[in-house]
Chains A and B, each alone.
Chain A
């Protein structure tokens, strides 16, 4: 790869206790690009993401940053100034207001007592403006809708002011419109010059928004590269066990996976013929009566 890597992962082995999830993985992830980690459930993509944030310490191998420093050498606060992570289900403290939550993003830049300076407040305001939550500043986070809440978390990540942003399935729990809003926002981070690595479940979204796909299965890299190059029917069959066609997305021209209809399954039936529990009960009762 000719691009500068944001991460270089060498012989990485990680797992929980004795259970190894990723075994001797070597991988480089490009700087200033949006990389999507995709793969079936349990393939190790979240584990890889957590290793990149040093939430999981490697049993073996290392994760190197752009300047050659390994995560193991850096302390937690130093890592936090360079890498931000949005976990899948962050906890919202009861009663906390939007501004205060976004301000926690400044934590790695503050002293032990967490006092905000004027510069920090300015950063927080900029971050809120960037994701359009300025007018929510005084609202309790628990009162917000799912979409608003995810924007607030994104604001926190922005306030952290890191070159690298890691997102763990950021679109989960959002309706479709909000999913696309969020992904467009993520694209803007790339335009700002940041590196984003995100776990995504939806392959079509990954193909449309990501510069690069990393396809994983059982802790291994099955393919890496531009979505147009990587996506193929054989890959879908091999990795996901999915029988699907790949057609160009009519909007963006990026690959679109359309699963084939299995001959044995009828996908749409007349509502009057549909098998509902109530109808089944009626039929059973009729049978007994006879």
Chain B
């Protein structure tokens, strides 16, 4: 309880530092003093680059990272398994499949439609998940297994379509790996309202998720309506994940890793975990996008590849450390 505030402030500082680096780095380098003057509207020289390109990209990256991290926190709280993440519920796969199918069905469709299609795909896959898993809804581990199977099915369908129509969906490939390249202010309304609505929802569920950690029976006897809580938390998590997929495509591992780092820093209680988790997600995503550009300029890697590079070894580490099979 006492540690989360200083921790959040520290993380905020880290986020600001990474953001400054992120804004300054690129084909046109902006030094920190210049950056400061531009932000203070004292120097018009870089305003176009900053406000037209880098700032929206930074903001989108941070918000998407935050949304994914919170989504992961909720999923892990519901499934009670630290290896769980929004990816395994099939939401990411469903959203991706929807986009691939859409770009085949309507070649030359306006790019602006992609996020909406992704969002619809994400929720449709949640519908599939809940329908398929309805006999095991009160067994979180089984629910996760159904999610894994669903993800595999979606991945197979995507591969199938990619082989069948290689030309039509080349552009959606970039989107699938998860990238914040070319994102602008117009993408902001796709993610901001979700965060504004769902962060308070998550805060409201936080204490009940703490109780759920004690097991279904104990949580119920302490006055928690477990099935309702589980459904609401899952819906919230899926909405957050779908919204971020709709903006950036599939970004793996942020939703898995950020909640773990947060637990390591501030413990098991969900309410203080929320701000720490949001900040960590933002930092992870901003730094991933930064490294994606720093590693081999002028080539920009999709940030999703960087998160996977960092996340996959961590995942292996986690499995070796995890004792409660």
User: Is B222 within 8 A of A93, CB to CB?
Assistant: no
* Extra inter-chain contacts (15) besides given A93-B210, A105-B222, CB under 8 Å: A53-B221, A54-B220, A76-B225, A80-B221, A85-B218, A90-B218, A91-B215, A92-B214, A95-B268, A104-B214, A107-B207, A107-B222, A107-B223, A107-B224, A110-B207
Chain A residues within an 8 Å CB radius of B208: 112
Q: Which chain A residues border B220 with CB–CB below 8 Å? A: 53-55, 76
> Do B217 and A55 have beta carbons less than 8 Å apart?
yes
State whether B207 touches A113 (Cβ < 8 A): yes
A-B pairs, top 7 by smallest CB distance, nearest first, are: A80-B223, A114-B207, A77-B223, A85-B221, A87-B217, A108-B223, A91-B215
Q: Are B221 and A55 in contact (CB under 8 A)?
A: yes
Q: Which of A75, A81, A110, A113 counts the most B-chain CB atoms under 10 A from its CB?
A: A113
Smallest CB–CB gap between B4 and chain A, Å? 14
Residues A112 and B204 in contact in the complex (CB < 8 Å), given A76-B223, A80-B222, A91-B218: yes
Task: Please name 19 pairs of A and B residues whose Cβ atoms are closer than 8 Å in the assembled complex, sorted by A.
Answer: A54-B220, A55-B220, A77-B223, A79-B223, A85-B218, A89-B215, A93-B268, A94-B268, A95-B267, A100-B269, A104-B210, A104-B211, A104-B214, A107-B222, A107-B223, A107-B224, A112-B204, A113-B207, A114-B271
- Residues of A near B213 (CB, < 8 A) are 91, 93
Known contacts A91-B80, A104-B211, A104-B214; is A113 also within 8 Å of B222 by CB?
no
Please give the distance in Å from B36's CB to the nearest CB on chain A. Answer: 39
Q: Say whether A84 faces chain B, with CB atoms less than 8 Å apart.
A: yes
Question: Counting CB contacts under 8 A, is A160 at the interface?
Answer: yes
Distance from A118 Cβ to chain B, minimum over Cβ atoms (Å): 15
A283 sits at the interface (CB 8 A): no
Quick one: which of A53, A83, A91 has the most chain B CB within 10 A?
A: A91
Q: Is the CB of A108 within 8 A of B214?
A: no
Q: Are B215 and A113 in contact (CB under 8 A)?
A: no
Name the residue on B nearest A83 (C-beta): B221
Partner of A90, one of B217, B268, B271: B217
How far apart are A206's CB and chain B's nearest CB, in angstroms?
Answer: 22
B214-A90 in contact (CB<8A): yes
Q: A112-B204, A112-B207, A113-B207 are in contact. Are A93 and B214 (CB under 8 A)?
A: yes
A85, closest chain B residue (CB): B221
> How many residues of chain A are within 8 Å of chain B by beta carbon?
35
Q: Which residue on B lies nearest to A100, using beta carbons?
A: B269
Q: Collect the chain A residues with CB atoms within 8 Å of residue B23's CB.
A: none
Interface residues of A (CB under 8 A from B): 50, 53-55, 75-81, 83-87, 89-96, 100, 104-105, 107-108, 110, 112-114, 160, 166
B206: Cβ under 8 A from any A Cβ? yes
A44 to chain B, nearest CB (A): 17
| Residues of chain A lying within 8 A (CB to CB) of residue B214 | 90-93, 104
The chain A residue with its CB closest to the CB of B219 is A107
CA distance A86 to B267 in the complex (A): 25
A55 and B226 alpha carbons, distance in the complex (Å): 10
A113–B206 CB distance below 8 A: yes
**Contacting residues, chain B, for A93 (C-beta < 8 A):** 210, 213-214, 268
CA distance A92 to B210 in the complex (A): 11
Q: Which of B207, B210, B211, B214 has the most CB of A within 10 A?
A: B214
**Known contacts A113-B271, A114-B210; is A108 also within 8 Å of B222 by CB?**
yes
List, in ascending order, chain A residues with CB within 8 A of B80's CB: 91
- Chain A: minimal CB distance from B42 (Å): 44
Residue of B nearest to A113 (CB): B207
Contact B215 A90 (CB under 8 A): yes
Interface-centre pick from B217, B224, B225 (highest chain A CB count, 10 A): B217
Chain B hits for A86, CB < 8 A: 218
- Chain A CB count within 10 A is highest, among B80, B221, B267, for B221
Which of B215, B223, B224 is A87 in contact with, Cβ under 8 Å? B215
Shortest Cβ distance from B146 into chain A, in angstroms?
18
User: In angstroms, how far is the closest chain B Cβ from the Cβ of A137?
Assistant: 15
**Complex Cα–Cα for A160 and B210 (A):** 16
Residues of A within 8 A of B267 (CB): 95
Closest to A111 in B: B207
Within 8 A of A (CB), among B214-262: 214-215, 217-218, 220-225
Cα distance A105–B220 in the bound complex, in angstroms: 12
Kindly report which residue of chain B lies nearest to residue A109, judged by CB atoms: B223
Contact B218 A87 (CB under 8 A): yes
Q: Which residue of A lies closest to B213 (CB)?
A: A93
B138: min CB distance to chain A, Å: 11
Expressed in whole angstroms, the Cα–Cα distance for A100 and B268 within the complex equals 11
**CA gap between A227 and B161 in the complex, in Å:** 72
User: A100 to B204, alpha carbons, bound, how many Å?
Assistant: 19
The reply to whether A96 and B268 form a contact with Cβ atoms under 8 Å apart is yes
In the complex, what residues of B have CB within 8 A of residue A83's CB? 221
Give the residue among B207, B217, B218, B225 with the most A Cβ atoms within 10 A.
Answer: B218
CB distance from B174 to the nearest CB of A (A): 40
Query: Which residues of chain B are within 8 angstroms of A76 by Cβ–Cβ distance?
Result: 220, 223-225
